Amino acid sequence: MVTQQGKVLFVCLHGSAKSLIAAEYFNRLAATRGLAARATSAGTEPDDVIPPRVTQGLRDDGIDVAGRQPSRLTPSDVEGATVVVTFACDLGELASRAPRIERWDDVPAVSEDFKRARDVIVARVAGLLEDPALGR
């Protein structure tokens, strides 16, 4: 198993809300801190499109995801990550391929309150960026 130091994979059921928000903010915060760590997102049952409320919420925050499409979780996604963060979903047989899994199951639903969910995700992402395993 070859992992890339500083690679985080965020996974949610549809790959179009929580995991996407987490990856976008992780990359933004890592870049502003001068860290090489990067994140991607995926879904176990990905949507065809990103919901308009997510696209608009991120756009309001200066992040453009228009035209992007949620991607399906693959074995190489999991194997290449230093950390896999899941949002109330199960990796199934791929869990055994993950070097480390964190479960963030208590994040509020994005469909109910984008800003509240985003704020919880961003706070957790900021904490994750302090992890020495992600490299400096």
Query: Is 107 part of a structural domain of the chain?
Result: yes
Query: Is 2 part of a structural domain of the chain?
Result: no
Query: Per the structure, how many domains does the chain have?
Result: 1
How confident is the model over 92-122, as pLDDT tens digits? 999 999 999 999 999 999 999 999 999 999 9
Enumerate helices (H) and strands (E) in the chain, giving the number of each. 4, 4
What is the predicted pLDDT for the residue at 136?
53
Query: Is 1 part of a structural domain of the chain?
Result: no
- Show the tokens assigned to 63: 């992040």
Residue 118: Cβ-neighbour burial (10 angstroms; 0-12, 13-18, 19+):
buried
What is the predicted pLDDT for the residue at 134?
81
Provide mean pLDDT across the span 47-53.
96
- Given pLDDT bands bounded at 50, 70 and 90, which one contains residue 3? very low
Residue 4, pLDDT above cutoff 80: no
Residue 8, pLDDT above cutoff 60: yes
Strand (E) or helix (H) holding 127: helix 114-128
pTM as predicted = 0.94
Give the domain CATH number at 66. 3.40.50.2300
Q: Which domain holds residue 120?
A: 7-134
Average pLDDT, the chain: 93
Query: Is 34 part of a structural domain of the chain?
Result: yes
Contacts of 76 (CB under 8 A, 6+ apart): none
Q: Count the Cβ atoms, other than its own, within 10 Å of residue 72.
A: 11
What is the predicted pLDDT for the residue at 133?
82
Query: Is 121 part of a structural domain of the chain?
Result: yes
Residue 63: Cβ-neighbour burial (10 angstroms; 0-12, 13-18, 19+):
middle
